[in-house]
Amino acid sequence: MSFFSKVKEKLTGRTEMVTEKFRDGLSKTRQSFSEKVNNLVKRYRKVDEDFFEELEDILIESDVGVTTVMDLVEKLKDEARTRNIKDSDKLKDVIVEVLSDFLTKSKDETKLNLNPDGLTVILMVGVNGAGKTTTAGKLANRLRNEGKSVLLAAADTFRAGAIDQLQVWGDRAGIDVIKHQEGSDPASVVFDALKAAKSRHADVLLCDTAGRLQNKVNLMKELEKIKRVINRECPGAPQEVLLVLDATTGQNALNQAKLFRQASDVTGIVLTKLDGTAKGGIVLAVRHELDIPVKLVGLGEKINDLQVFDADAFVYGLFSEMFETPDEEKNEDSSSQQL
């Protein structure tokens, strides 16, 4: 059985809706990447240095990142030599296998770290425009649907409209938002939110924060102050510091991640707008170069389109058209229409 077939088999135990969300959400990346790889395989019947050089170019164009691309291609060369693969068509499955290895290091790394014995505090960080406030609202809704009692803290007090925007998401999800006036001290908002969460015996407090990268020194000091308040009032918290990155910005997202990691002890990545870009390879770059797990991905604009990252579903969504026969593609299309 091929590696891709094993991936498909593993997905049979998961909901069809999740698999289809990844397949649909990655359509732009798949059409760009898979088509180029297929054309490459057709042009190069034999695996040689020229084949790998063109594969490097394809991966870089998909925003996988130069460092990650070099490591990926070296691994592919090693596997081709070890398995004595000389036919480029047979290398397609190895490409899938190696990319899959780069995406995840343990089964549990994509799970949110929730406190089983009390309040869980999740800090949302990232630059303005990445979708941080929207993600906070969607995540709050997701956790509420899982049976958790949730509060939102509107600690992005400097961006015009941020507090109102979070309130809109809170209203949609039926979740209370703790807020102050625009321009207030963000740490004081978080302090009041922690008090409210404790008094209401909430399970999760989600804190939206500012993201003014042009004032990055002040921004990082602000985040450090918020974390001190959280740790003082709720020792051991925050359980998660989720960095929200806009997938459409490609390598800029990777640079932002490096900056925030220095100051925020980032525990996980949320990649938004993955459905709106052909550069979904940024997932690989973030995972491999930063050694921070991608925990959630945005695959659409609806409130339920924030998904837990699933490496198998991602691989399936990225490569499905490379391995499916015309009959399988017809079946996929008809099932999608039924959904």
Could you tell me which residues are annotated as the binding site? 126-133, 208-212, 272-275
The DSSP code for 12 is T
Judge whether 157 and 123 are in contact, CB under 8 Å.
Answer: no
Q: Residues forming the annotated binding site for GTP? A: 126-133, 208-212, 272-275
Both structure tokens of 169: 């998401």
Q: How far apart (Å, rounded) are the C-alpha atoms in residues 32 and 17? A: 23
Q: How far apart (Å, rounded) are the C-alpha atoms in residues 317 and 116? A: 33
Q: What secondary structure does DSSP assign to 282-339, as a single string?
A: HHHHHHHHH---EEEEE-SSSTT-EEE--HHHHHHHHHHHHH--HHHHHHHHHHHHH-
Nearest to 189 by CA among 244, 148, 233: 233
Residue reference for tokens 């925007």: 165
For the chain, first and last CA: distance in Å?
29
Q: Residue 327: helix, strand or coil by DSSP?
A: helix
Q: How far apart (Å, rounded) are the C-alpha atoms in residues 255 and 319? A: 27
The strand ranges marked E within the chain are 120-125, 150-155, 177-178, 204-209, 240-246, 268-272, 294-298, 306-308
Nearest to 140 by CA among 228, 195, 203, 227: 203
Both structure tokens of 308: 């837990």
Q: How far apart (Å, rounded) are the C-alpha atoms in residues 302 and 250? A: 22
Q: How far apart (Å, rounded) are the C-alpha atoms in residues 115 and 138? A: 20
Helices (H) and strands (E) in the chain, counts: 14, 8
Sequence letter at residue 63: D
Q: How far apart (Å, rounded) are the C-alpha atoms in residues 205 and 193? A: 8
